[in-house]
């Protein structure tokens, strides 16, 4: 009985893996965008090729806490608060501008209502296992600006790691703590 159960499980997992492997890359990125749009909280650790590291914590609908070695910024709607390491919080008027910039980066592959075909040329990269988790990889070539983004997606259709190759920088992103109940506090 145990052998039959193990064999059945192995066949089911194999079928799931084949379904992922055969999925149209544009459909896979669309599914990822939809799943990511439903996330209510997450953290992204961003490492730039110039050595800068930023941790961005998001809480829905529009709160971000960005921490770097030299500063912290909290965006909450139209309000922005910032402080240097060891300093005190100060509010400033850059909230709407910075909120729009952060949201444009945070929305992987663009808003869900825009057809992926209009934004990117998508190529499947296959699969790999990271930390015991099977991931599917895709390269997105931006049709307008020309940069490349590589995204590795888990079985829940959420991104696990990404690399964005910009003209003067490369950004490696690791996504963690999906839907963690902690909130971004306003100073």
Longest dimension (CA), the chain: 67
What are the pLDDT digits (tens) for 139-166? 999 888 888 999 999 999 999 999 999 8
Least confidently predicted of 18-27, 30-39, 82-91: 18-27
Measure the CA–CA gap between 53 and 43, rounded to whole angstroms. Answer: 13
pLDDT band at residue 24, thresholds of 50, 70 and 90?
very high
Q: Which residue has the higher pLDDT, 22 or 8?
A: 22
* Among the listed residues 76, 24, 26, 68, the one whose alpha carbon sits nearest the alpha carbon of residue 46: 68
Q: Which residue has the higher pLDDT, 97 or 63?
A: 63
Output the six-digit token pair for 27.
């459909």
pLDDT average, residue stretch 86-112: 79
Return the percentage of the chain with pLDDT > 70, whole number: 86
* Verdict on whether the full-model pTM lies above 0.85: no
pLDDT band at residue 104, thresholds of 50, 70 and 90?
low
pLDDT at 173 over 60: yes
pLDDT at 75 over 80: yes
pLDDT band at residue 27, thresholds of 50, 70 and 90?
very high
pLDDT band at residue 183, thresholds of 50, 70 and 90?
low
Give strand pairing partners of 122: 140
CB-CB contact of 184 with 73 (8 Å): no
């Amino acid at each position: 009985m145990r052998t039959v159960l193990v064999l059945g499980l192995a066949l089911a997992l194999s079928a799931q893996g084949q379904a992922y492997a055969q999925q149209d890359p544009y459909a896979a990125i669309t599914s990822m965008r939809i799943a990511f749009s439903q996330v209510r909280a997450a953290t992204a650790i961003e490492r730039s090729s110039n050595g800068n590291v930023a941790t961005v914590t998001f809480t829905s609908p529009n709160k971000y806490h960005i921490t770097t070695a030299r500063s912290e910024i909290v965006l909450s709607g139209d309000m922005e608060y910032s402080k240097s390491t060891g300093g005190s919080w100060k509010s400033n008027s850059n909230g709407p501008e910075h909120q729009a910039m952060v949201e444009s980066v945070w929305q992987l592959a663009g808003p869900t209502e825009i057809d992926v075909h209009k934004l990117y040329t998508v190529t499947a990269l296959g699969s790999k296992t990271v930390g015991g988790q099977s991931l599917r990889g895709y390269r997105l070539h931006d049709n307008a600006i020309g940069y490349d983004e590589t995204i590795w997606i888990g079985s829940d259709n959420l991104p696990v790691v990404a690399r964005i190759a910009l003209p003067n920088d490369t950004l490696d992103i690791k996504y963690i703590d999906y839907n963690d109940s902690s909130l971004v506090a306003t100073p």
